Amino acid sequence: MSASIKTITVDFIRHGETHGGDILRGRVDPALTARGWTQMQKATGLSSQHAPGEITPNWSEIISSPLKRCREFAEQVAANIKIPITVADQWQEIDYGDWDGMLVSEWREIAADQFKKFREDLSALAPPNGENYLDFKDRVLSALEELSSKDDGSHVLVVTHGGVLRVVLPFVLGMPFNRSYPLHIPFACFSRVKLVMQDGKTNASLILHNGAEHGASAE
């Protein structure tokens, strides 16, 4: 007889636009702009007062990165919908170390050699005084695996970052991690993954990606 099947739905949303301009946002902690709040509300079908609308999913729990561009939105939603919230370090952005807060235009020049090597070797991406890519990848995939322990039928919202989604989505799709850049992951990108556990194995499938029209910037 086959073992019972457990299914968990996980919605991922990247934070919206933040203050600070076109910078590399790792552990630096800029707050959302007014537009950023609107992007996230629209992507999740919430009103400007965080009241659920017709398309807002019936989440059972929210999990958030501790960085305020994610956490402040997650806390508001959890309070208004009255569901549990967990703030988890595992879902925060990669630590860019000395690169953190740098203008993206400058960073692209400084990091060019590492990214060229990264195309062939995942261990090549190691921000100075920051978190190397392999540790980051393992951290995020460990957090994803932990979601499989949720109750059958759970519907979880994870409020997180673009870099995190560039680990989660290639893993689900079976893509090489160092070839994720064709994936468009704008501010407030909303994606849904279904986890199915059977016979001790977890299978993940992508149900939708960037499933909201919010006119967000790709940066």
Per-residue pLDDT of 68-77, as tens digits, reads 999 999 999 9
What is the greatest pairwise CA distance in the chain? Answer: 59
Q: pLDDT tens across 178-212, in order?
A: 999 899 999 999 999 999 999 889 999 999 999 87
The beta strands (E) that lie in 78-154 are given as 85-87
Domain ranges of the chain: 6-195
Q: Are 38 and 48 in contact (CB under 8 A)?
A: yes
Specify the DSSP element, H or E, that contains 37. Answer: helix 34-44
The structure's pTM equals 0.93
Radius of gyration of the chain from its Cα atoms, rounded to whole angstroms: 17
Of all residues in the chain, what percent carry a pLDDT higher than 90?
86
Kindly tell me the burial class for residue 90, based on how many C-beta atoms sit within 10 Å of its own C-beta (0-12, 13-18, 19 or more). Answer: middle
State both tokens at 67: 């960085």
pLDDT confidence tier of residue 3, bands split at 50, 70 and 90: low
Q: pLDDT tens across 91-147, in order?
A: 999 999 999 999 999 999 999 999 899 999 999 999 999 999 999 999 999 999 999
**Residue carrying the six token digits 């991406």:** 125
CATH no. of 6-195: 3.40.50.1240
Q: Are 118 and 133 in contact (CB under 8 A)?
A: yes
Strand order in the sheet with 155-160: 85-87, 61-64, 155-160, 6-14, 190-198, 201-208
Q: What is the rounded average pLDDT of the residues 141-162?
A: 97
